[in-house]
Amino acid sequence: MIAGPRTPVWSALETLAKRSQHLNVPTLLSQDLKRREKYSCSAAGIEFNFSRQCIDDIVLETLLQLPDIVDMGAAIQGMWHGDKINVSEDRAALHVALRQPENLLDELKIGGTKIAAEVLTERQRMLAYAEQVRHERNFDTVINIGIGGSDLGPAMAARALKEFCGGGPKVLFISNVDGCALADALEMSKPARTLFIICSKSFTTQETLINAYVAREWIAAALGSDAVPNHFAAVSVNVPAMDDFGIHPLARFTLWDWVGGRYSLCSSIGLSVAISIGAQNFEQLLAGAYSMDQHFRQAPWAENLPVLMALVGIWNINFLHLPALAILPYADRLSRWPAYLQQLEMESNGKSVTKDNEAVTWSTAPIIWGEPGNNAQHSFFQMLHQGTLRSALDMILVKEAVGPGIQHQWSMANASAQIDAFTFGTQGNTEQALAQTHLGSRPLSVINLEALTPQKLGALISLYEHKVYVQSILWGINAFDQFGVELGKRLCATQITYPPAQSL
Ligand code: F6P
């Protein structure tokens, strides 16, 4: 497979980009009254509207030639076929298997071996355990200890779906090895009523092990060491390490090396979410992700949400040279979405070497940053409107109110006002005219969700996961390794050892 920048289509886009510096979004909108519908696509309950991007019909047509020229169809099928698309680690990246419905799971194989039985058994064990915790009501607090993919996805989803808890226990997330994080959580919890989930794909991540060790001491000190197995569950590929820690076999859940940490929310790594919202709602999350997966596999490029989103990103990053993408959810429940996406996009595509081990000469992942939109209006929106550093924007709108009260209309009014301000800007009309001028034409996409339900959240997760994969194919890089983070871990391990000396 050839990388996009090595194709003639890329050169054609470079030529188009030279004149596109002058493309103005208000003009594009006024020249084509159907633009808002034409530059919009929906799937799995999500609408992706990119009519306010600095893209015209010729640019779009040319961008849409990229997927075929890099053999995107084969890359997508390769994912589902269990090919070792994580080339540097010689592994498949088959997270889509995690949400495949029971009756269709049989399709999927790794190295010729069917994985259906394993995936299903583990899914059912995990969901049964989650239901048991919810119904027995032995615990009023669940503390998930994990970091990176073992924290960001579950923490984001548990917060996003808080409305679906239905009396489930309170779920807290601890990732930082700074002791105050766990101390704050322990302060508001009672040992006898607390369940810890140690979430670590590898079960070797130092921060997680240290926090887990402190939690175990806390339980043992209050209830005696015999109580430990009743207060801990764990999720990992590393079964012996879970055993060594003292996790009861029935509270031990596994995943597989073909699930990357940042792609693992739909595996047992989502246990804390399943406990919080219940098995049925968790299955809805999987169903939503599955419907976006199917759309991604089947829709033509021009209607394919992950592909369109990826192409818009490529245009902004590689041709308009915008180094950043701001993620602005107009829904407080999505407050952890920007942090979740930071790992998904930057750990996946923050690479400078191609799959063939050559240095890239083109930009890859942008800086992903963001905050809930309404709060951000009163902090960094100034820079977005008038600063010198230009950032593309993803504005995520949820049509149906999540919480109670009249505030939702205000939230939506603010979102719509900002969309227009970013697009149309304004001319100053006093002697301070220049300082008051907003140029407008800020490249933005609007991602519309009817409601923030488990199904829609699943679809949103899958949308961004596949966008990241499409971009990695276009850039010719591997989205599934993360060697950049290993060095710091190794250096840290030379300075301190686990287990802590006093535990021996
Ligand atoms: O340090 C980064 C990382 O390796 C991520 O890729 C991963 O999600 C995180 O650490 C946690 O890893 P684990 O789940 O193995 O504890």
Using the predicted structure, report yes or no on whether residue 498 has a pLDDT greater than 80. Answer: no
In a domain, 489, yes or no: no
Ligand 1 atom nearest the C-alpha of 199 is: 14
Task: Name the residue type at position 258.
Answer: W
Q: pLDDT grade, residue 504 (50/70/90)?
A: very low
In a domain, 365, yes or no: yes
The pTM for the full model equals: 0.97
In a domain, 83, yes or no: no
In a domain, 210, yes or no: yes
User: Do both 108 and 226 map to the same domain?
Assistant: yes
Q: How far is the CA of 348 from the centre of ligand 1 (A)?
A: 12
- CB-defined site of ligand 1, < 6 Å: 147-150, 200-202, 205, 208, 261-262, 347, 482, 485
Residue-wise pLDDT for 216-238, tens only, equals 999 999 999 999 999 999 999 99
* Range 64-82 average pLDDT: 97
User: Do both 191 and 227 map to the same domain?
Assistant: yes
In a domain, 76, yes or no: no
Ligand 1 atom nearest the C-alpha of 489 is: 1
User: Do both 335 and 383 map to the same domain?
Assistant: yes
User: Do both 29 and 165 map to the same domain?
Assistant: no
Residues contacting 137, CB < 8 A, separation 6+: none
Q: How many domains does the chain have?
A: 2
User: Exposure of 173 by Cβ count < 10 A (0-12 exposed, 13-18 middle, 19+ buried)?
Assistant: buried
Q: How far is the CA of 201 from the centre of ligand 1 (A)?
A: 7
Active-site entry in 34, 136, 378, 431: 378
Ligand 1 atom nearest the C-alpha of 488 is: 1
User: Do both 54 and 108 map to the same domain?
Assistant: no
Q: Is 289 in contact with 456 (CB distance < 8 Å)?
A: no
Ligand 1 atom nearest the C-alpha of 150 is: 14
Active-site entry in 122, 347, 371, 465: 347
Which residues constitute the domain of residue 313? 4-69+299-479
In a domain, 202, yes or no: yes
Residue predicted with more confidence, 503 or 46: 46
Q: How far is the CA of 259 from the centre of ligand 1 (A)?
A: 12
* Helix boundaries (H) for 378-497: 381-386, 407-424, 433-436, 454-475, 486-495
What's the pLDDT at 336?
Answer: 98
Q: pLDDT grade, residue 247 (50/70/90)?
A: very high
- How far apart CA 240 and CA 220 sit, in angstroms, is 21
Q: How far is the CA of 492 from the centre of ligand 1 (A)?
A: 15
Catalytic residue status for 201: no
Closest CA to 289 of 40, 166, 465: 465
Residue-wise pLDDT for 339-375, tens only, equals 999 999 999 999 999 999 999 999 999 999 999 999 9
Indicate the top mutation candidate among 242, 482, 489, 498 to test ligand 1's pocket, ranked by most ligand atoms within 8 A of CB.
Answer: 482
User: Do both 309 and 273 map to the same domain?
Assistant: no
* Range 152-158 average pLDDT: 98
Catalytic residue status for 347: yes
Q: Is 213 in contact with 241 (CB distance < 8 Å)?
A: no
* Range 110-122 average pLDDT: 90
User: Do both 34 and 169 map to the same domain?
Assistant: no
Residue of minimum CA distance from atom 9 in ligand 1: 148
User: Do both 101 and 211 map to the same domain?
Assistant: yes
Q: What is the CATH number of the domain that holds 122?
A: 3.40.50.10490
Using the predicted structure, report yes or no on whether residue 160 has a pLDDT greater than 90. Answer: yes
Of 280, 314, 342, the residue that ends a domain is 280
Average pLDDT of every residue of the chain: 95
The three-class DSSP label of residue 241 is helix
In a domain, 74, yes or no: no
